Structure 1
């Protein structure tokens, strides 16, 4: 019995050492650097996430360091609306306290990709924004989207937003729930969709 207990203890220690590690953890909502501490993780992957947001002429850059999983690793995305832009990149590494890298975003692809989406930007209400224009999507932004909600930006300014524009698949998958610098206080509506061109008309 003692041998069995000892064996189980050795196996548990081995499993913990193989499948757990430490990563640097910390974030800043409006800076490319952050203060970090060490945190225990349930795996061996660490992450540094970089985020860029532009809203009505103001640029915010945010950074997050934490534990990671396969879903997060390598994710990058972008979103474009009439008066704003949002980009992020999640860079992962394997090993104890390996996420020592700094703020980084892959180069932006400004080339039009053939998709055209409605774009609109309204503040002060949670109703659908009707001030629509057409926008040419670029790079990996392969879907259209609409978002309505109460949001706080990296400058701690809270407001109701109703926006439409272009978005990439990863941005749609994570949306504002996972944003570093943008905090959702209340989400009323979010929808990502693909438009199909048919004889000059667009339909879902």
Structure 2
């Protein structure tokens, strides 16, 4: 009987164990927080530095938290769309206790033209925009992207659509997941992506799908 009780206790303790991650949120690059036990469906620690210009100026913020591995979108990301709107981030995911205590640095913005162009537009309160104008891509933004979904800015929800230049990492952003960036949550329902055509070519406009 004691062996059975001991085995049951071991199983219960194993089920009760969970990952701990450093958790904090702060303006700028870097933050320090306390260890926080993750929830039953959270098996990954995240460190994310995000920057966006949706508020009219560049806003940068660091977030450290627990997430599910399926929600991790690690690496560098850059999207530049119409009306001077850009989104940049760098993030890392790991699965050991307090493994997200490291420092990350957002790479400097590269504004050097790379010879590529994409249809460009940005629209609030709409699930589409036409992209009748084109944008000269810069730096590592070598893909054309078309996204749409919902924006959550300080609790205000608005549909949005955007087209522009992006890094290849934008092609694998998850759909239906709240993607956080410096006070803004993007939930995408569409993300289409293709290699950007050269400025000297007449590449076809990215399909609406």
Q: TM-score, normalised by structure 1?
A: 0.70
1:135 aligns with 2:122: no
Q: Distance in 2 between matches of 1:184 and 1:98?
A: 26
Say whether residues 1:39 and 2:40 are aligned partners. no
Cα 1:157/1:14, change in 2 over 3 Å:
closer
User: Aligned-pair RMSD on alpha carbons?
Assistant: 3.8
Hey, what's the Cα distance between the residues in 2 that align with 1:109 and 1:93?
A: 28
Residues 128/7 of structure 1: CA separation in 2 closer, same or farther (3 Å cut): closer
Work out whether 1:144 is the aligned partner of 2:141. no
**2:145–2:164 Cα contact (<8 Å) kept:** yes
The 2-side partners of 1:192 and 1:152 are apart by: 23
How do residues 7-22 of structure 1 correspond to structure 2 at under 5 angstroms?
A: 7=7, 9-10=9-10, 13=13, 20-22=18-20
Residue correspondences, number? 196
Partner of 1:170, secondary structure, is helix
Segments of structure 1 that go 5 or more residues without pairing to the other structure are: none
- Classify 1:112/1:8 alpha carbon distance in 2 versus 1 (closer, same or farther; 3 Å): farther
TM-score (norm 2): 0.68
Corresponding residue for residue 178 of structure 1: 179
Alignment of 1:96-115 (within 5 A): 96-101=97-102, 104-115=105-116
Corresponding residue SS for 2:173: helix
CA-to-aligned-CA distance 1:160-181 (integer Å, 9 cap, x gap): 5432101223234236831232
Q: Does the 8 Å contact 1:145/1:165 carry over to 2? A: yes
Q: Which runs of 5+ in 2 are unaligned?
A: none
Which residue in the other structure is 2:64 paired with?
65
**C-alpha separation between the residues in 1 aligned to 2:87 and 2:178?**
13
